Amino acid sequence: MYKSLIVFTFLLGACSAINTHAQSEQPLVGRVREGMPAIDPTTAIYELPVAEGISHQDVIDSLKSLSEGKNFVNPANFPIGDHMKARGQAPAGVLEVRAFCNLGLGAEIMLDHPEFVVFAPCSIAIYEKLDANNKLKLYLALDRPTYDLKSIKHPTERAKKAAQELETILLEIMDKARKGDL
């Protein structure tokens, strides 16, 4: 009886330890605002459709205004679609990448992990692709900093927190830009 009680107690303790451990391993992701699709932690890409009636130029103007208001700089833009057209490989619609950098948050990661610079600056893509009705639709997509951080071995808590905050702010900027907000 005494041995059975010891075995039972041991198994009960082991099971509770397993359950606690499983619950504590939440994926590191940014936070989305109400009304936004959930983040898929298995992919680096977070995609948002642009609202009907919002033009490519509206999105660009919104991204510029909103990012500046959040202490981001836009150091580079890559009109990939224009370069493809010049080579005779015209994409179906808009195809570009806009770079955004917040040195306050980025530095928090790179101070502990300088190799993270390979992912800097953050990229937001603007592109068109065919929707379910075979009509070109404008989208925004982000290369998620928290997903990129998975490439760093043993990231510090400071780096994790900064990547999550960076991603959350970029997601907020994208959500507003897709609606044409300034």
The fold of 40-177 is: TATA-Binding Protein (3.30.310)
pTM beyond cutoff 0.95: no
Task: Measure the CA–CA gap between 163 and 124, rounded to whole angstroms.
Answer: 15
Q: What is the mean pLDDT of residues 133-162?
A: 96
Q: How far is CA 89 from CA 56, 72, 84, 128, 155, in A?
A: 21, 33, 5, 15, 40
pLDDT at 174 (0 to 100):
97
pLDDT at 155 (0 to 100):
96
Residue, of 25 and 31, whose pLDDT is higher: 31
Q: List pLDDT tens digits, range 43-90.
A: 999 999 999 999 999 999 999 999 999 999 999 999 999 999 999 998
Confidence band, pLDDT 50/70/90 cuts, at residue 134: very high
Q: What is the mean pLDDT of residues 6-26?
A: 43
pLDDT at 84 (0 to 100):
94
pLDDT at 11 (0 to 100):
39
Q: What is the mean pLDDT of residues 29-43?
A: 94
Q: How far is CA 75 from CA 68, 72, 99, 140, 174, in A?
A: 12, 9, 6, 18, 17
Domain spans of the chain?
A: 40-177
Using an 8 Å Cβ cutoff, are 80 and 74 in contact?
A: no
Task: Measure the CA–CA gap between 90 and 70, rounded to whole angstroms.
Answer: 34
Whether 167 has a pLDDT exceeding 90, the answer reads yes
